[in-house]
A and B are shown apart, each in its own frame.
Chain A
Amino acid sequence: MPNILDIRRRIRSVINTRQITKAMKMVSAAKLRRAQERALAARPYAHMLTNVLRSLVARAEIYDPETGEPKHPLLAQREEKTILLVVVTGDKGLAGAFNANITKAAMRFLESKSGKNVDIEAVGRKGRDFLRRRYPAARVQTRSLAELAESIEAEPEASERSGTIQITGEHVGILGKVEFAQASALARNLIERYCREEIDAVYVVFNEFKSVIAQRLIVEQILPIEQIGEQTVRLAEELTEEEKKKAKEAAISAGVGIRATEGGPEAAAQFGTSQVDYIYEQPPADLFRALLPKYVSIQIFRALLESVAAEHAARMTAMDSATSNATDMIDSLTLIMNRARQAKITKEIIEIVSGAAAM
């Protein structure tokens, strides 16, 4: 027969755990709200930039009229010999399958590209730890993003590879507060390497976040740019219905809106698209060249911001189900305890009754 005291102790411990998971859920919900706001705040800029680029494509001669080849190196398609993959995970765990899903998707992507050289830039501690166990570090490391933004030295050139798949950079601890300067620094580094033809394509694997119920895990092609303003998604994984339902429940109980953060001001969408003849202070082609790297930066920035939001959402969901699991556990333990107590009382009564009968 289970010991009543033990069960009672067990219940108390589960109650404590539930308190912690509940607190973590609320904290994640608050952080999620902030992350969502930041992701939203980045949108007008991205919209406007895209619009201007689009209108410039029409005006500047981006493509060679004879061969149809793009003039800008970032638009040029090359045979993929070396690929760069940016893996965006979280710095912290306890977020359900969030980090595992991303690393899994990254592994799948690597498999699909097997035989080619792959450089990996790991953003987030969890992904870095995972990848580090499997792949060697490159001899020359990209500086971490925190330093990159400040650094003004030339980037080191890549030397011999230490494996077909190698880790060229680790960026840990930047996700707490993602700054545009950091995304921009990473983008600049990638562009430099791309232009030196060290790498032939850049992909980012991250968890896209539109709202709590509209998320997907995607591998997005960043370079070369195929179509401005269009996402080039190579691999996507939507949430399952069950996951969606869970996320929704968690969001509702934590008071986070589940509406999509899409939309934004209409005015942003009109920027640079007015049907007027602009005076261009600089030749359109020059403007285009100056803007394209920013486009890459903003895409990376967006990936980081959405990943952060998704991480908090995942943690919130995980903690919500942990809390409800704890509640279930307390209920069943209480039931067992009551049964045990009753059994004990019954036994005592029987003992007294049979004792009295014997006299």
Chain B
Amino acid sequence: MAEVFQLEIVTPEKKVVETRAAEEVQIPGKNGYLGVMPGHAPLITELAVGEITYRENATEQRLAVAWGFAEVLPDKVTILAETAERPSEIDVERARKAKERAEQRLTSGDPTVNVERALDALHRAEARLDVASRTR
């Protein structure tokens, strides 16, 4: 039997994932994606906007996350994310609109635009669309 570890993904609104049988998880760390297998060295990292992929009972699950951080222990991974959505929960229409709006703002050249925030919004929307489209 393959080795497994405990995986928890928590947002302020609820516990999204709670499993004792995760086989592998990919976390969008701020300095790049990192894959975690059972027995990983203890680690704490900030998350970027992106997607979490984890494998449980040989099936892959994806989640779109926006900002958070993760604690990795040899037998347990805990991820605190501001938002974590399964593909079925993603409002594709809204994400698409948000993306358009952010792009518009970025290309408008208006000096009042908060570029950082617009970029943030753009990335969030893209990550959502990505996760939603690939699982459909």
Residues of A within 8 A of B (CB): 38, 41-42, 44-46, 48-49, 52, 150, 152-154, 179-181, 183-184, 267-268, 271-272, 274, 276-282, 286-287, 290-291, 294, 297-298, 301
Q: Knowing A152-B113, A281-B31 touch, does A41 contact B45 (C-beta < 8 A)?
A: no
Query: Which chain A positions have C-beta within 8 A of B30?
Result: 281-282
Does B13 sit at the interface, judged by CB under 8 A?
A: yes
CB distance from A43 to the nearest CB of B (A): 9
User: Which secondary structure dominates where chain A touches chain B?
Assistant: helix
Does B2 sit at the interface, judged by CB under 8 A?
A: no
Are A45 and B42 interface neighbours, CB within 8 A? no
Are A48 and B78 interface neighbours, CB within 8 A? yes
Q: Knowing A38-B13, A41-B15, A271-B71 touch, does A153 contact B114 (C-beta < 8 A)?
A: yes
Query: Which chain B positions have C-beta within 8 A of A179?
Result: 13
Are A154 and B44 interface neighbours, CB within 8 A? no
| Other contacts beyond A180-B12, A287-B46: 10, CB < 8 A | A38-B13, A48-B10, A152-B113, A183-B12, A276-B42, A278-B43, A279-B42, A280-B45, A287-B44, A291-B69
Contact-residue size bin, chain B (C-beta under 8 Å from the other chain): 35 or more
Query: Which chain A positions have C-beta within 8 A of B86?
Result: none
Q: Knowing A271-B78, A282-B30, A290-B46 touch, does A52 contact B12 (C-beta < 8 A)?
A: no
Q: For the complex, what is the distance from the CA of A31 to the CA of B68, rounded to whole Å?
A: 30
Does B95 sit at the interface, judged by CB under 8 A?
A: no
Q: Knowing A45-B10, A154-B113 touch, does A272 contact B105 (C-beta < 8 A)?
A: no
Q: For the complex, what is the distance from the CA of A267 to the CA of B41, rounded to whole Å?
A: 19
The contact string, 1 if C-beta is below 8 Å from chain A, for chain B 1-42, is: 000000010111111000000000000011100100000011
Are A279 and B80 interface neighbours, CB within 8 A? no
